[in-house]
Amino acid sequence: MVTLARRGAATVVIGLLVLAAGCSRDVTDQGSANPPASTAGPSTAAAAAPAAGTWTGTWIRTAPVAGNGTYTFVLQQQGQTITGTIEATGSSCLTKGPVSGTLSGTKLTLHAETPAISGGGQAIGDYDATLAANKITGNIKVTCSTGTGVGTMDLTKS
């Protein structure tokens, strides 16, 4: 009788061990309601904030008189809101200062206000551009006490 009781107890213990082992196995490959997080693709931070980063390139003034120079934009992005700084070289107006704007799809709109080169007042830059991969291209309009200039810009993410 003792042997039969021991055999029954051993069967119960083995059954519990099998049950415990079965409950602890990973079932995510069998359509679990909580599949593992995807590891595919590039950084999700970059995908979530495509405008964020340092952008450098050239600008060309087409009117009223020809001119050119370089821009460096350092941008942060939170949702559709863009903030950061701009630094311009070769400009008759812009220097270095804050920039703000929005990104909706690939349409990037920026607005900058910096001290004017001459030290007299503010220079204002407005930018209507397209963001595609690591390129920003678009139109510029810059105004200060010397007048208003229009042209284009071509920037690359560094």
Per residue in 64-123, pLDDT tens? 989 999 999 999 999 999 999 999 999 989 999 999 999 999 999 999 999 998 767 899
Token digits for 12? 């119960």
More confident residue, 45 or 90: 90
Q: What distance in Å separates the CA atoms of residue 67 and residue 137, rounded to the nearest whole number? A: 17
What distance, in Å, lies between the first and last C-alpha atoms of the chain? 82
Give me the mean pLDDT over the 117-134 stretch. 91
- Domain annotation covers residue 14: no
The pLDDT of residue 51 is: 96
The pLDDT of residue 30 is: 47
- Domain annotation covers residue 50: yes
> b/e per residue, 17-32, with b = 16+ CB within 10 A?
eeeeeeeeeeeeeeee
- Domain annotation covers residue 74: yes
Which helix (H) or strand (E) segment holds residue 106: the answer is none
Return the sign of the alpha-carbon dihedral for residues 125, 130, 133, 136: negative
- Domain annotation covers residue 150: yes
Token digits for 108? 């990037």
- What is the total count of domains within the chain? 1
The pLDDT tens digits of the residues spanning 4-30 come to 445 554 444 444 333 344 444 444 444
More confident residue, 43 or 108: 108
- Domain annotation covers residue 83: yes
Assign 16 to helix, strand or coil. Answer: helix
- Domain annotation covers residue 63: yes
Q: Note down the domain range covering 83.
A: 45-157
- Domain annotation covers residue 30: no
CATH number at residue 138: 2.40.128.120
- Domain annotation covers residue 20: no
The pLDDT of residue 45 is: 53
The pLDDT of residue 71 is: 97
Tell me which residue of 117, 109, 57, 113 sits closest to 85, measured CA to CA: 113
Tell me which residue of 7, 151, 132, 28 sits closest to 90, measured CA to CA: 151
